[in-house]
Amino acid sequence: MSQNRPFKTLRKQLIDHGLQVSEIRRYVDELRAHRQDIVAELIASGLPPVDAQLGADHRLGDVHTLVAAKIKQVRSSTFAGRHPCLCFSFMPAFSAAASFTVLTMLLATSWHFKIAPRWLGAVSIAAQLILPGVLAILFYQAARRRALARAWRIVPLAVILLSVVWFRISMRLPPEFPGTQATFWFGIVPSPNFIAMTSALILPVVWISWLENKHVRAA
Amino acid sequence: MYGLRMANTGGDVSFMNGVAELLVLRLLSRGEMYGYEIVRAIAESTGGVIAVGEGCVYPILHAMEKKRWVASRRRKLDGRTRIYYRLTDAGSGRLQVASARWSEISAAVSAALKATHVPEPAL
């Protein structure tokens, strides 16, 4: 790494993998200081400065090795990083279903007991439109921070979109509630809900574009 | 594990898993050090048999810091800022466990290599 360019390449590749800027800065600073130490050591041992620089680059490792080592460390340090299939394909579907179920139950229960304020209906509809997008963003960010492959950032969005478009959760409260149990229905709707899909897609797309642009500028 | 190899042997990576961690913990138990010092100390203390990929020592240290086995601090020395690592209490505990495990394994492997009688494989 005779000049700063390889460190820039290293920095850019780590940003592309989703590492946080502060973490990258620290890694690059440590590598740069380490390289200076190796150069000083080699010059002290009698090598000319140019050879010392080349020797330092060789000992430090190439960009590919340094990126791979850091990515491996970040991925293996968390459960989600070690088990992306579980956390970024099953969890989004489960969390979408669970959050909608909780939302529906809260709404229906508060309505039944006549404790629901007038604005709760509007808030509930808005939440149902915004919630999938927010969940997709949270999973995208989680996958990014764990330096997972790009596919794992997109899979949760696709899973949540499919859940929103093709599945519906409804709850019917019998009149004698709370004496009897409520009935749930969870299944595939015959016609996809394109309004829900559009609303679930807009928020993540806008947010992801903004975030990726921000990281490109940082690189 | 990236960054650890047996010098001039094309060392088996899976065999060496956990060794870098053990060596780093042992070195830091003597006092705080920065990355370059750690790499040099590993090479010296193992007679050059085990070498840590110099740039790859930092992900190992960062992972250990995340597990709270080591703690770090910035220190300015001779106009240069370095990050020094030191062992925590959790790290000392981990060092004891890892050392005991390594002693067990190395004793078992040595015994197996010294054994004169090799049992016939069961059919």
Query: What DSSP assignment string belongs to chain A?
Result: --SSHHHHHHHHHHHHTT--HHHHHHHHHHHHHHHHHHHHHHHHTT--HHHHHHHHHHHH--HHHHHHHHHHHHHHTSHHHH-HHIIIIIHHHHHHHHHHHHHHHHHHHHHHTT---TTHHHHHHHHHHHHHHHHHHHHHHHHHHTT--THHHHHHHHHHHHHHHHEEEEEE--TTTTSS--EEEEEE-SS--HHHHHHHHHHHHHHHHHHHHHHHHH-
Q: Stretch A75-94: mean pLDDT, rounded?
A: 89
Structure confidence at residue A173 (pLDDT): 56
Structure confidence at residue A185 (pLDDT): 57
Structure confidence at residue A174 (pLDDT): 55
Q: Stretch B13-42: mean pLDDT, rounded?
A: 86
Residues A56 and A103 in one domain: no
Q: Which of A26, A59, A77 sits opposite B54 (nearest CB)?
A: A59
Residues A196 and A207 in one domain: yes
Q: Any CB–CB contact under 8 A between B63 and chain A? A: yes
Query: Is the pTM above the cut of 0.90?
Result: no
Is residue B8's pLDDT more than 50? Answer: no
Residues A117 and A156 in one domain: yes
Structure confidence at residue A179 (pLDDT): 47
Domain boundaries, position A59: 5-76
B42 HSE (CA, 13 A, CB side): 26
Cβ <8 Å between B36 and A65: no
Residues A36 and A112 in one domain: no
Residues A89 and A196 in one domain: yes
Q: Stretch A22-39: mean pLDDT, rounded?
A: 92
Residues A71 and A103 in one domain: no
Closest by CA position to B83, among listed B54, B58, B56: B58
Which is higher by pLDDT, A213 or A186? A213
Looking at A44, A76, A108, the residue that finishes a domain is: A76
Give the model's confidence band at A189: pLDDT under 50 very low, under 70 low, under 90 confident, else very high.
Answer: low
Residues A104 and A210 in one domain: yes
Which is higher by pLDDT, A209 or A200? A209
Cβ <8 Å between B56 and A30: no
Give the model's confidence band at B11: pLDDT under 50 very low, under 70 low, under 90 confident, else very high.
Answer: very low
- Enumerate residues 6+ apart whose C-beta is below 8 A from A196: A128, A129, A132, A164, A165
Which residues of A have a CB under 8 Å from any CB of B?
A: 23, 26-27, 29-31, 33-34, 36-38, 59-61, 65-66, 68-70, 72-73, 76-77
Average model confidence (pLDDT) for chain B? 83
Residues A87 and A195 in one domain: yes
Structure confidence at residue B12 (pLDDT): 46
- Name the minimum distance, in Å, from the CA of A144 to any CA of chain B: 18
Residues A28 and A55 in one domain: yes
Q: Any CB–CB contact under 8 A between B86 and chain A? A: no
How is residue B97 written in tokens? 């466990």
% chain B with pLDDT above 70: 81
Structure confidence at residue A48 (pLDDT): 93
Give the model's confidence band at A113: pLDDT under 50 very low, under 70 low, under 90 confident, else very high.
Answer: low
% chain B with pLDDT above 90: 46
Structure confidence at residue A38 (pLDDT): 93
Is residue A130's pLDDT more than 60? Answer: yes
* Residues of chain B contacting A38 with CB distance shorter than 8 Å: 36, 54
% chain A with pLDDT above 90: 28
- A-B contacts (CB, under 8 Å): 63
Residues A92 and A23 in one domain: no
Give the model's confidence band at B1: pLDDT under 50 very low, under 70 low, under 90 confident, else very high.
Answer: very low
Give the model's confidence band at A3: pLDDT under 50 very low, under 70 low, under 90 confident, else very high.
Answer: low
Cβ <8 Å between B58 and A68: no
Looking at A14, A41, A76, the residue that finishes a domain is: A76
Structure confidence at residue B74 (pLDDT): 92
Give the model's confidence band at A183: pLDDT under 50 very low, under 70 low, under 90 confident, else very high.
Answer: low
Looking at A23, A41, A76, the residue that finishes a domain is: A76
Structure confidence at residue A180 (pLDDT): 45
Residues A135 and A153 in one domain: yes
How many structural domains comprise chain A? 2
Residues A96 and A192 in one domain: yes
How is residue A21 written in tokens? 């800027």
| Residue-range domains of chain B with CATH | 4-101 (1.10.10.10)
> pLDDT for B53-85, tens place per residue?
788 899 999 999 999 999 999 988 777 889 999
Which is higher by pLDDT, B90 or A182? B90
